[in-house]
Amino acid sequence: MITRILTTRFVSAALVVTAAAIAPTNGLAVEHGGPAPITVADLEAAQAGWCAALVAISKTHREGGDAKALAETVIDAAYNYAQAPVLFKPTLAHGKQTFRTTREGALAYFVGGNPAFPGDSGFALKPWAAARPVNAATYIEGNIGITMGHVVFTDTSGNETKVEKTWVFRRGEDGKLYIVLHKSTIPYSPSAK
């Protein structure tokens, strides 16, 4: 149920969801007021939603749709940029543009096309057919949840790419989870010197 809610929120412009698939969330308020604590299920649902959104952006691009508009919707729904800078270190970013603390920087990374970020070709525009998180561990304290592990991306030819991901999610006053930190790296290979 939570997975469908978060997936719908992240990719509402790309996926059709019936009213029966959307159920109220219990994450809004607890007896003492404020947002409910995050659960492991909440974290896993948010990660699954992010993966589904990335695949939807890729598919939209392949089909000639407005991938940039969808990426904007996903960023606004998933990331905390409206409230504060996000600590975002994308997988393939480097040099002076390694860290993307602004929405503009995140959008450039996902879809490219921004002359202020000339090295970005659009990670989300690659031909991704699937993506799945594989957590090594999670840590939760109140309305903050941290995950660390891998995301395995599968392209349309069946090739897999595994990246290391650390995410920190915060539950907002609206009950939704927002990414406040997203660090992604290529796994270290001791044979590659």
Q: What is the pLDDT of residues 16-40, one digit of tens each?
A: 222 222 222 334 444 456 778 999 9
Provide the β-strand partners of residue 161: 153
d(CA 84, CA 86): 6
- Cα dihedral 80, 86, 87, 91 sign: positive
d(CA 182, CA 91): 10
Domain 2-185 of CATH type 3.10.450.50: yes
Looking at residue 35, its pLDDT comes to 76
Asked if 134 and 149 touch (Cβ cutoff 8 Å), the reply is yes
Angle between helices 40-62 and 67-78 (to 10 degrees): 170
Domain residues of the chain, as ranges?
2-185
Instruction: Kindly report, residue by residue over 45-73, the tens digit of the pLDDT.
Output: 999 999 999 999 999 999 999 999 999 99
d(CA 180, CA 171): 10
